[in-house]
Structure 1
Amino acid sequence: MRVLFDGEAPVAYGQIYVTSRELPDMDEAFAGQVNGLCGGGQPGALFLMTGTHTGRVRFTIELHDGEPPAAAEMWQEVVEVSFPPRAGVVDLVPWGDGTLARLPLIPEGQDNGRLPVYRARYCATGMDEGSDPFGGLDPDERAEDDDTYLDRRPDRYLLCLWPDGTTDGDSDRGGTDGGAGAGQTRSDAILRQTSGAAAYWHRWARALPPPPTLWEQVEAEMLTRLERDRRAHAYRVRDELRRWGGRLPSDRLRRVRGNIQGIVQLDRDLVDGVAGADAATQRQIAIWAARQAFTVAGVADLDWLRPAWTALDRGEPLPAEFADPTALWTRARGEPAVTFSTVTLHPAGWAPADPLHAILDAPVNPVAMALPALVAAGESDPLQAALEALWAAVTTYAARRAEFLTEVRRAFPFLDG
């Protein structure tokens, strides 16, 4: 026999716990039990009740190799429960506080991954006296600032543990009621009852609703997962509606890559019209939008751009020198590209009412905005090519974008079908 703890233990609300991990829930710990002093309904934890509501009580914890002799007559209350720990070392934890003591159930170096199911015998004496706030002392005889009675509580407790079977170290409560065995737990029992305090807690425990059956637990978990999946799906739908302008996209649109969200937010009907066209028409739209952008920017007729337009008209890939917007900018301007930033100061918390339109209404360099349209028109995916080229043209037209959107529909009337 080893004494794992022997000393004063602080209790509050008449509770103290032995736990492998998290603290037990009171109702779940006692549901389905006949005793209300030692709750073992949650794997890996014991919920221990005391007569003292608040104070320090004498507490002893013993670990035995086998079932110890019957409790001595001095113990007025004796109950037993099964205790399947989830770790080789458990903690004695007061209410609202950290660990008071570490309790090694397995000698160091002997943990082979399988832990016994322990039987826990919880003994108490003086619970009725402990239930008295002053522990039987006359409150009129103590000084007003004398709180030493909290350290001289009359109730005392003994917890005996011994192996009563085996289970996996991280298993939940399992097995059947009855005799001990591998992975099994036994029903709790009241071996001795004397005090009114103990009788009160026993009645309380027996009045609790029974714990859910294994099937009820499985069903509850299934329902929880279904609800979680439903919520996740609803979130994904809401997010997709937001990103796609309030209307769910087709699978074809979902597969499109590139910079298309701007045109989606600006004119979703146009996007759907383009998506409904055949690949050849989508390519025509892409080339047409690129020419419109370059025309507005005043660079559509540059001689060195002819190979690019010729390749697009023939359905051929763009020549390599036209596939980089930065290189195109350098050539169009006749000087290296320069990156610069413009900083605008606004009051804290300020934001435009319509960020998309605020961007499109800002001053732009039409040449810089038009160049990506040429690269976009050469994309291998004709739908991506059309949508990216349309967006580049919109940003080139900028504040005149309504004019461009009208021209698109005039050039391709079926887009409003």
Structure 2
Amino acid sequence: MNNRPGPVSEQSVTLVMDYGQFCVSGGLGDIDAELELLEQALATQPCAGDGNSFVVLSPHQNNFEMPVAVEVWDTRPPADREEWQQVCEGKLHVSSDGQVVLTSPTDTFTSCEVPGGDYLVEVSGRGFVNYGWPGTTTPDDVWRIRLWPDDGADPRPPQQWNMPGYGVPESSPPHETSAEQKQHDADPEWITVFEPGGGRLVRTSELRAQADEAAREAWGGFDPIEQVLEYTGGKALAEYDRALVLAVVELDDERLRQVARWCVAQAFHYAGLADRSWVATALTALDAGDRLPPPFATPETAAAHLHADRSHHNPGDGNSLEVTASYSRGRLDPFNCGPIDRPSFALTTIFAALDPDPKKAAFETLYHASVTFQRDARQLHVQLRETFGLPYATA
């Protein structure tokens, strides 16, 4: 009768292993922590763990069909290190979800069922032919993971493969990094981009460069102007008249308020509304810094009054004007939005001018006024420069 002890459960999985490393976790692993464990594993080869994850370095650079046997025991299994080339031990907590997860930097993973709890874990490998490139993407190395309940004993020291004619690789001592470098290192070096037909690895630095170039292209081939990035129409204004935007950015708060009030007046004049008594009193109040009179309590009440006012006045050519798209400097003019109701756009300027932030008030009022002017927005910008002595080009 054979009384030799055996595992409580056995499972076989296959992992796509790349970059000479894989991680065993109990469902509570963290990518940032795994990066730190990788650095520790390189410093104290061939493994490192923190109780939630266990990073293992493989002598082989890759094995895209790496077989792994996962065994759960009710006590420490019999020692058989002499049958394996590399052996590592550590501690691992498996969450109540009851899953042990194996991952590798190719963003692939596999998992198997293991009851939740605290374990000692042993990871063993053999069948190695080289440290580094094994000559194929599917070498013959095989791995085994054995887990048993943590009885308080310390993990046993690791065993590294002593490659004939080479020995064992030297450990890489951990290096100190600045706060800026730690922030940079927190980003992965590679990201998997999924496309029709499969995925591919792309350097994050390449993606950043592409994003920066796209941002410059969106801002007319120049760097974005951070001060107006969040303002309505900020990008459109910068692409249309960058020199004017850079000049207005430098104005003090009082001058910015003056720009906003001036833009409101120009928009109402161009829309043919400035001679309306209800508009004239509002412009006077705006210039004096007083509270706007009715119907300017809200944009909705002002719009309703405009609609009622039209029933008593002939709209004329200035009230509503349909236009077609025109071009400026070879680009589609951002202020030619197609057919618009010009008086309604003019109304938005007075509410933009009330914003508590003087800079936001100036730029958003200028934007709405420019849309009101549409194809004549260039004329509005010329008049703004002449009124406030703003340059036509940056230094």
Partners of 2:144 and 2:211 in 1: CA distance? 55
Q: Residue 165 and residue 308 in structure 1: after superposition, are their counterparts in 2 closer, same or farther (change >3 A)?
A: same
Q: Which protein, 1 or 2, shows the higher relative CO under an 8 Å CA cutoff with sep ≥ 6? A: 1
Ranges in structure 2 where 5+ consecutive residues have no aligned partner? 17-21, 28-38, 60-66, 103-107, 128-142, 188-203, 312-321
Determine if contact 2:123/2:144 at 8 Å carries over to the other structure: no
Determine if contact 1:361/1:399 at 8 Å carries over to the other structure: no
- Which residue in 1 is equivalent to 2:338? 362
Q: Residue 412 and residue 208 in structure 1: after superposition, are their counterparts in 2 closer, same or farther (change >3 A)?
A: same
Alignment of 1:98-177 (within 5 A): 111=117, 114-115=118-119, 117-118=120-121, 166=152
Partners of 1:248 and 1:18 in 2: CA distance? 41
Q: CA deviation at 1:302?
A: 0.5
Structure 2 residue 7 is the aligned partner of structure 1 residue 3: yes
Partners of 1:286 and 1:319 in 2: CA distance? 18
Alignment of 1:286-297 (within 5 A): 286-297=260-271
Partners of 1:186 and 1:239 in 2: CA distance? 52
- Which residue in 2 is equivalent to 1:373? 349
> Percent of aligned positions with the same letter in both sequences?
21
Structure 2 residue 251 is the aligned partner of structure 1 residue 277: yes
Partners of 2:365 and 2:126 in 1: CA distance? 81
Structure 2 residue 39 is the aligned partner of structure 1 residue 81: no
Q: CA deviation at 1:409?
A: 1.9
Q: CA deviation at 1:269?
A: 1.4
Q: How many residues align?
A: 310
Determine if contact 2:236/2:334 at 8 Å carries over to the other structure: no
Deviation per CA, 1:31-63: give whole Å up to 9, x if none.
Answer: 9999xxxx87786488999xxxxxxx9x99684
- Report the AA paired with residue 350 of structure 2: L
Alignment of 1:174-323 (within 5 A): 181=154, 184-188=155-159, 203=163, 207=167, 209-213=169-173, 215-216=174-175, 225-227=183-185, 246-249=222-225, 253=228, 257-319=231-293, 321-323=295-297
Determine if contact 1:241/1:247 at 8 Å carries over to the other structure: yes
Partners of 1:62 and 1:333 in 2: CA distance? 78
Q: Residue 306 and residue 212 in structure 1: after superposition, are their counterparts in 2 closer, same or farther (change >3 A)?
A: same
Q: CA deviation at 1:392?
A: 2.0
Larger Rg: 1
Q: CA deviation at 1:165?
A: 7.0
Determine if contact 1:287/1:312 at 8 Å carries over to the other structure: yes
Determine if contact 2:89/2:157 at 8 Å carries over to the other structure: no
Determine if contact 1:45/1:83 at 8 Å carries over to the other structure: no
Determine if contact 1:123/1:158 at 8 Å carries over to the other structure: no
Ranges in structure 1 where 5+ consecutive residues have no aligned partner? 23-27, 50-56, 125-156, 167-179, 190-200, 345-352
Q: CA deviation at 1:301?
A: 0.7
- Which residue in 1 is equivalent to 2:140? none
SS of the residue 1:380 aligns to:
coil
* Alpha-carbon RMSD: 5.6
Alignment of 1:406-417 (within 5 A): 406-416=382-392
Partners of 2:23 and 2:253 in 1: CA distance? 70
More helix by share: 1
